[in-house]
Amino acid sequence: GQHLITAIADQMFGFKTTSWELGRQRSVIELDTPSVTAEQIEALERSVNEKIRERVPVRVRELAADDPEIETVRSRGLPDDHAGPVRVVDIEGIDSNMCCGTHVSNLSDLQVIKLLGTEKGKKNKTNLVFLAGNRVLKSIEQSHSTEKALTSLLKNGPGEHVEAVKRLQSSVKLLQKNNLNLLRDIAVLIARDFKSKPVQSQLFVLHRKEGDSEFMNIIANEIGTEETLLFLTVGDENEAGLFLLAGPVEAVENLGPRVAELLEGRGAGKRGRFQGKATKMSRRGEVQALLQEFVSPRCPEA
């Protein structure tokens, strides 16, 4: 399959093959061209499959290393230490190529070739991705299974899948926007509730499963951190999440790294805020005890 595509790509468009990879799931041919158009891919695929349907014979022959005919054979050259005859694979009327691999005796044995498209290759190169033979059938089977699953989930026909997914994406974006606005409102209300109390604690601790960094920073901004030490967390209570320690600059500089260590996380901070990611949210209680001990001497006696 690779020999056939390489030969036809060169004949039709002058695209030289510079390398290839015959993978377990798909195969790739690196072409010496910065781009290949969709029309060229379509024409190339049509041409290689025409050759398969024409049942073009493939034969293997061996030539002496000094045979003049070797000069007409496509190759990357023989190794310096080569000894013995040279194996040549001929696709009748299409290609003659040095190769030591296993080959079909007739192009019809390939069954079919499907070009899946291109990917950006090395500098000024294009990778052409293809399937051949039974891999094409397996790919169709997988695609059909995916199509059936989407039909069941989206409750419409295959021709409407793309539009259905676009509508879902739009709905999700709207819900995310509304959710963000609600979280902002909740953050402001939480802060106002704290500030409305006659006697404000020097330590404010809050965990909320739904939330993000902005949610925590809004609370910190609304409450103010000149006098109050805040420890805020969002995410799953017993797994990973985000944390924010905010308060007087000196206190945060002192406590921030210790909080990150207790939560088995990482963080950074400046100007009275230390925030980061935690892997052990279940240790929030230990952090709260540390912070409570820190502020206790500062609390006025009852």
pLDDT at res. 302: 35
Residues 6+ apart with CB under 8 A from 96: 72, 73, 74, 88, 89, 90
Query: Average pLDDT in the 50-74 region?
Result: 87
pLDDT at res. 225: 76
| Residues above pLDDT 90, as percent of the chain | 74
Residues 6+ apart with CB under 8 A from 251: 229, 294
pTM above 0.75, yes or no: no
Statement: residue 80 has pLDDT above 80: no
Statement: residue 209 has pLDDT above 60: yes
| Residues above pLDDT 70, as percent of the chain | 97
Query: Average pLDDT in the 279-295 region?
Result: 92
Domains of the chain, first to last: 1-135 (3.30.980.10), 192-295 (3.10.310.40)
Residue type, 152: S
Phi-psi region of 28 (alpha: psi -120 to 50; beta: other; left: phi over 0): beta
Rounded Cα distance, 7 and 188, in Å: 68
pLDDT at res. 52: 97
Higher pLDDT among residues 101 and 16, named by residue: 16
Worst-scoring range by mean pLDDT, 94-98, 137-141, 149-153, 232-236?
Answer: 94-98
Predicted confidence band at 77 (pLDDT cuts at 50, 70, 90)?
Answer: low
Q: SS3 for 126? A: strand
124-171 pLDDT, tens per residue? 999 999 999 999 999 999 999 999 999 999 999 999 999 999 999 999
Asked if 61 and 104 count as a contact pair (C-beta separation under 8 A), the reply is no
Rounded Cα distance, 43 and 115, in Å: 10
First to last CA, the chain: 86
pLDDT at res. 297: 66
